[in-house]
Amino acid sequence: MDDSEPRAEGPPPEAFAGLFRVAEVTVDDGQLRYYGEPLVSGERLERRLWPVFRDRGYEVRLTNEPRRDPLTGVETGGRRYVLVATPRSTGIDGIPWTNLLFAALTVLSTLVAGSRWYGADLSDPTNLLAGWPFALAVLSVLGVHELGHYALSRYHGVDASLPYFIPLPNVIGTMGAVIRMRGRMPDRKSLFDIGVAGPLAGLVATCVVTVVGLYLDPVPEPAIPITFNYPPLVQILADLTGQPLTYSGGEVVNPVVFAGWVGMFVTFLNLIPVGQLDGGHLVRAMVGKRHETVGALVPAALFGLAAYLYYVREAAFNAVFLWVLWGVFTLGFAYAGPATPIYEDGLDAKRTALGIVTFGLGALCFTPVPFELVMP
């Protein structure tokens, strides 16, 4: 429907004086749309109006859209500017059925994967529960990572969804977990805090899971055609606990250790410093708009790693393909760019130091050839 004025809790057009000349206001399903002409740059406009809308409970963005005939809706040529104000919410609206459904499916898929690692005979459905230690460990490291992001999003008043777990019938039973960031980042400090919380929280959970797994009994080597190489952090934890990573007699470490490996692999990938990955958020917060230089170098570095593995190390094809694939992914991430904060105030020294430490911890989760396919 069309209204001459926004609903009562929306900012009146007079609040935009000298910033945006309002010609028309519409209200559609709670979303306010102010059509008109900006009188200042888009960046300055959003920076000035963001707190005005936020105080009224809205997120605002400046965009433009095709001009349309008001009666037929047919495009008439040209474009017009519009301030789109969407109600913001940092709470949980009702029961998150989609999140719960995906979580239940991921529990099932990780139980199947875990049962295979423990060598259970799945022709008997009751043996599915044999995989519960692995499933619990994997879901813990992934869930804690995403809940770290969610908790800091709530702290900074940024609208974010609960975690979505992604089930997948592979050797770990999942493609990971994600949250949707629906709100704007107020400043570089909040962008950094939200970005760093996931990797650090996830690494704590990963280290706990790995240490627990090292103390659990080894299992017979499963009939799964894949082997995993340990990153330095696993080696460090094994040395600190005095527990072995290899066994004789056809046994291997408990699959819970492999769940820790999953957490470390996910942490490293998330800390690649480009785009909407956690590492991209950290670099954007730490160096500001100079992040574009870093983002441009990342795909080249990954393609270079793939070339090194192929020509120098003569590594297996799967390792070369993995980093070529991530090189392509990061090209897309770099093009999309990271989240853009409203205010560009720099970070304090403590956060900058924490960011450097976080990238250092991520490096300990890296191994050039994470896994190898075992050919029959």
Q: How many CA atoms lie within 13 A of 172 on its CB side?
A: 24
Region of residue 30 (phi > 0: left; psi between -120 and 50: alpha; otherwise: beta): left
CB 319 within 8 A of CB 370: yes
Check residue 4 and give its pLDDT. 43
**Both structure tokens of 346:** 């720099």
Average pLDDT over residues 208-225: 92
What is the predicted pLDDT for the residue at 91?
67
In the chain, the percentage of residues whose pLDDT exceeds 70 is 94
pLDDT at 169 exceeding the cut of 70: yes
CB contact at 8 A, 150 and 160: yes
Identify the residue whose tokens are 């706990």: 208
Find, among 334, 356, 366, 323, the residue nearest to 200 by Cα: 356
Written as six digits, the tokens of 6 are: 């926004």
Ranked by mean pLDDT, the top range of 3-12, 45-54, 219-228, 360-369 is: 360-369
pLDDT digits (tens, 9 = 90+) for 45-87: 988 998 889 888 888 888 888 877 666 666 677 788 999 988 8
**pLDDT confidence bin for 327, thresholds 50/70/90:** very high
Apex CA 295: angle with CA 292 and CA 300, to 5°? 135
AA letter at 150 = Y
Paired tokens of 315: 């590594």
Task: Give the number of C-alpha atoms closer than 13 A to the C-alpha of residue 354, restricted to the C-beta side.
Answer: 16
Q: For 86-106, how does the pLDDT look when each residue is reduced to its tens digit (9 = 90+)?
A: 888 766 767 889 999 999 999
- CA pair distance 99, 181, nearest whole angstrom: 15
Q: What SS3 state is found at 12?
A: coil
Question: Residue 280 in contact with residue 336, Cβ under 8 Å?
Answer: no
HSE, CB side, 13 Å, CA atoms: give it for residue 285. 29
Q: Catalogue all structural domains in the chain, each as residue range(s) with its CATH number.
A: 2-87 (3.30.980), 97-373 (no CATH)
Interhelix angle 255-270/232-241, nearest 10 degrees: 140
**What's 121's DSSP letter?**
-
CA distance 80 to 64: 5
163 three-state secondary structure: coil
Give the whole-angstrom CA distance, residue 59 versus residue 159. Answer: 9
